[in-house]
Structure 1
């Protein structure tokens, strides 16, 4: 019977009508009635447009038939359907109630280039189509595939995955036909995926042009004076760095904004890309977490905190928070520093109650964290699980423990000794410096911070960070699950780069977008990479490529 319903539904939606098909297929939920003549005339089509044109002013003259695809252009699609997404899902699993249905399916996107299937993705059930678009009722939606306006959509990441999984290779210089096909899908189990007939499809001619690279873009950038660094005269392979600059200019390495290399305490390379310069304050996202570890070590040295083994009960009356458990009182600062607490919080798990995306909308991030239950599967200090909320908790502990609060204390104890004067914190809802990340600075100042660790905590002969704290931080504290030979420390990461058959171990700060501050253990080298490839799957792999294939081979020559 189910198969009969699906076949009947597929036949009915293939009929192009002058309105919606409510009279033929009863809606599972009420859908919008088609009143827009443009939509009525284009049911079943995916149309392309160069900007976000609202439906009420969208015209056929706006439909693109050809488009020059480049990172400086925006490509959008608007989809015209005969019914809503939820109503397309219902015949695939009519036994499911509405709530279960919308958690089990969505749309399947299939991308073809020149008639060849390149990529197919069943988008997550949580993917929506804008704040004003209800999947239960809307019969049209718009999403961007590429954007130059700062938009942040799941559809743009899907486009990136299409490019990474064959799209880039297929879209060579010249003209190509791109075709996109939409179908509904419902996944009831790993073995039961149900896909419906075509809802909408569309095609466009894409024009691909190789960007013209200038000599200035390829050339190694001269280091300007007044950097607060002594300039190195060390030799390196200039051809390798020119090749790196070429790859960045061609956008083969994407959204890189700066690269600084320190060798033997001196500034060897300082280069900026994509409209950045020395004055730019970069947003390194979670690389800023590492500063929390630094300030914890300084606060311990100054006697405001006893040591990293202090438990939470020393700072909070946990009985005043939800989900009290005696074992919660025993969570230590070290557990939070090494992301190995037993809180039920995991940024890698979208369904985790302690996921950072659940924290940000709350009006008190500290209460959010302390209210979390414990995870019965975890034991403090044993299992690593990335947990931003725990770092926010340490920021609160520091803020109420050190004199004049965390922000002024950090400026006095860390930034002023390093002569870092240009920086910008973000803040929690309680107006406390946000230790979750996004502490913005100039690249040459991030280099000072990283070099401080390379100097065992000293700067110009003065001990800024206790040497024993640096030693603990530059020690493998806990294994990162499912990663070979990668470890975590006190809010620092650890990995090994292999170049020409040799291994080079490094500790580093890392943040979304490909931001990395890298301190090599046995080389007199510090590397800073800033980038804005936020949430992109290639972000950190390409930063590792920069180090492994370009910088280390150049400077180790």
Structure 2
């Protein structure tokens, strides 16, 4: 009886509030929704709303390093209408640009972390903030999902959550409120949904096989090294990865003096796994540009864009656009108004991907009045897509066949997979997928000064230009950029070891040491995680260098 009265009161209040709503919220039709208005419910994986039952709502959950903890939130109104109650004088458009939902995380009754999610955060298909009254987001996922909610969960863990979620049983509570931010002042509304869950955290117990150095199997193109190394250090590395202190690592490969010294796989990866190393694939555009120049299809890297395009046919034309050189795109130093580090930049890569033509998107961009071509480094993915298009239109039979014939076949690289632009051109922005051992061949090619099995695949001159500190990376001490390769120096036991490397989202790195006879491949799926690249550096500094350089025979 009490539940019925409460429901009727909620309906009555809802009708009164609805008179002042900006939008008519979606009808609450599912029984599961009617029974859980104002609740944050927890579920294992993504159970479609139409199939979601009372028995699917979790009361307890064993939280593992790899799990699929999702929440489904049931509200009695839409997000924009909640925001309207906070600031009725503002338009819907303004509200959605100044506010969203606030998530508060409690563990065992103590507030650990609060986050006002960015106004641009949406709630997936069906998650219209104007009308939706229910939404689902993953907090953790093994399905390759890449959501703002998963990043929020990581920030919760990094800001106290991991410390308190130690071995044992804990109560997790999540509260949701609307918020708006106007003139640096945040206004928070009333509680609109909350939910609790018992989390069971069990210690990870590793087997001897998981810890020990993995035996290198025969059958690859690599000669196996007989160089001694400190196996205990690698066992420590394997333990750190197995215990999830180093997260989402899928492989570590070490080449020493041109031979395979270490080949380790983790988290369901193996020798045949094709890894999505994201922007590490950009470096292949530099390689193919060097080969095309060496064969005379492109004159040199000082050729300007107006050699390849009639730039007056694109929007925002000005003579400054004509003078952009291939070199400027190779060094991320063109004057286009494009910056992947600035979410408001018109040339940000997130604006490129929905476009029908990525090259046209890049060449339509205005020029930045504060930049000069070749003067300032600023990460610009769309410019690398233009490089791929230039190669594709100038070499025989296009970039894909040219790369296969001139690079992959000489290196015996057969297990790879391109992604493509909307025009079906290989996507030089990244995500060229290969096995770890094939990536190692690519990196070793540079270590060999462009030579492979007696054949000069890439000219020594291009390798030298690529492995030159072409431009300083702003706000990074002693770090530089070459031709689509990064540069940094590792300090180890009082000595500095310079490297050039390919890098991609998730902590993917192909590292070539200039003085040491060492190439390291690290693949990882820690996409968009702040710890991704720092933990790759930790693998090199704390485990691999000590294992190889410190070993006492």
TM-score, scaled relative to structure 2: 0.95
User: 1:110 aligns to what SS in structure 2?
Assistant: strand
2:53 counterpart residue number: 59
Instruction: Indicate whether 1:432 and 2:433 are aligned.
Output: no
Q: Which runs of 4+ in 1 moved over 6 A?
A: 13-16
- What's the CA shift for 1:213? 0.7
Match of 1:215 among 202, 208, 222: 208
* Alignment counterpart, residue 310 of structure 2, candidates 317, 325, 343: 317
**Paired residue for 2:392?**
399
Matched, 1:420 2:398: no
Unaligned stretches of 5+ in structure 1?
Answer: 1-12
> What is the match of residue 179 of structure 1?
173
Could you tell me how far 1:19 is from its partner in structure 2? Answer: 6.0
**Post-superposition CA distance 1:439-476 (Å, at most 9, x none):** 11121111111111111111223222111111111111
Of 31-40 and 352-361, deviating more is: 31-40
- Residue matched to 1:5: none
2:38 to 40, 44, 49: 44
* Alpha-carbon distance change, 24 to 264 in structure 1, aligned in 2, over 3 angstroms: closer
Structure 2 residue aligned with 1:486 = 479
Would the aligned equivalents of 2:451 and 2:458 in 1 still touch at CA under 8 Å?
Answer: yes
Structure 1 residues 416 and 37, CA gap change in structure 2 (3 angstroms): closer
Q: Secondary structure at the match of 2:15?
A: coil
Q: Distance in 2 between matches of 1:523 and 1:447?
A: 16
In 2, distance between residues paired with 1:495 and 1:189?
40
Aligned residue in 2 for 1:376: 369
Aligned to 1:126: 120
Per the TM alignment, residue 543 of structure 1 is displaced from its structure 2 partner at its CA by 0.9
1:201 Cα shift? Answer: 1.2
**Residue of structure 2 equivalent to 1:7:** none
Aligned residue among 340, 343, 354 for 1:347? 340
- Mapped contact 2:252–2:523 kept (Cα < 8 A): yes
1:267 to 260, 280, 293: 260
Instruction: Show CA shifts across 1:22-63 (max 9, x none).
Output: 314621322234344433333222111113233344333322
Aligned counterpart in structure 2 of residue 88 of structure 1, from 63, 82, 95 = 82
User: TM-score if structure 1 supplies the norm length?
Assistant: 0.94
2:384 is the counterpart of 1:359: no
In the alignment, is residue 334 of structure 1 matched against residue 320 of structure 2? no
1:77 deviation in Å? 1.1
SS at match of 2:402: helix
Q: Measure the CA separation in 2 of the matches of 1:394 and 1:542.
A: 31
Matched, 1:410 2:396: no
Which residue does the alignment assign to 2:217?
224
Structure 2: unaligned runs, 5 residues or longer: 1-5
Counterpart Cα distance in 2 of 1:422 and 1:137: 47
How far the C-alpha of 1:243 sits from its partner, in A, is 0.6
Match among 63, 70, 75 for residue 76 of structure 1: 70
Q: State the shift of 1:158 in Å.
A: 1.0
In structure 2, how many angstroms separate the alpha carbons of the residues matched to 1:319 and 1:514?
40
- 1:3 aligned partner: none
**Which of these residues, 509, 513, 522, is aligned with residue 516 of structure 1?**
509
How far did residue 329 of structure 1 move? 0.5
Q: Structure 1 residue 188 and structure 2 residue 211: aligned? A: no
Please tell me whether residue 163 in structure 1 is matched to residue 187 in structure 2: no
What displacement does 1:393 show?
0.5
Q: Indicate the SS of the match to 2:503.
A: strand
1:18–1:40 contact (8 Å) kept in structure 2: no
1:500 is the counterpart of 2:500: no
Question: Given the superposition, is the C-alpha separation of residues 545 and 16 from structure 1 closer, same or farther in structure 2, using an over 3 Å criterion?
Answer: farther
Matched, 1:463 2:456: yes
CA distance in 1, matches of 2:211, 2:489: 29
- Whole-angstrom CA distance in 2 between matches of 1:20 and 1:282: 53
Deviations 1:64-93 (A, max 9, x none): 111111144311112122321111112322
Residue by residue, what CA displacement relative to the aligned partner does 1:411-456 show, whole Å, maximum 9, x if unpaired? Answer: 2221122121221111112211111111111211111111111111
Q: 1:55, 1:281 → 2: CA distance?
A: 34
Aligned residue for 1:304? 297
Cα deviations by residue, 1:97-144 (Å, 9 ceiling, x for unpaired): 111111000011111111222221111111111221211122222211
| Matched ranges for 1:110-121 at <5 A | 110-121=104-115
Q: Say if 1:20 and 1:82, in contact at 8 Å, map to a contact too.
A: no
Closer, same or farther in 2 for the Cα pair 1:24/1:331, shift >3 Å? closer
Go from structure 1 to structure 2 and tell me whether the alpha carbon gap of 1:18 and 1:62 turns closer, same or farther (over 3 Å shift): farther
**Aligned positions of 1:439-458 closer than 5 A:** 439-458=432-451
Distance 1:399 1:56, change over 3 A: closer
Question: Which range moves more in the overlay, 21-30 or 163-172?
Answer: 21-30
Q: Is the 8 A contact 2:439 2:521 kept in 1?
A: yes
Return the match for 2:21 from 27, 40, 46: 27
What are the Cα deviations for residues 347-398 of structure 1, in whole angstroms up to 9, with x where unaligned? 1122222111221222211111111111112111111111111111011111
How far 1:494 sits from its partner (Å)? 0.8
Instruction: Report if aligned partners of 2:302, 2:325 keep a CA contact under 8 Å in 1.
Output: yes
Q: Which segment is superposed worse, 22-31 or 88-97? A: 22-31
Return closer, same or farther for 1:451/1:203 CA change in 2, 3 Å cut-off: same
Contact kept in structure 2, 1:16 and 1:43, CA below 8 Å: no
Q: Secondary structure, in 3 states, of the residue corresponding to 1:155?
A: helix
C-alpha spacing 1:16/1:81, structure 2 compared with 1 (3 Å): farther
Deviation at 1:15, TM superposition (A): 11
Q: Which residue of 2 aligns with 1:252?
A: 245
Distance 2:181 2:7 in 1: 23
Instruction: Measure the CA separation in 2 of the matches of 1:251 and 1:390.
Output: 36
1:507, 1:417 → 2: CA distance?
A: 23
Corresponding residue for residue 8 of structure 1: none
Q: CA RMSD in A?
A: 1.8
**Structure 2 Cα separation of the partners of residues 371 and 27 of structure 1:** 41
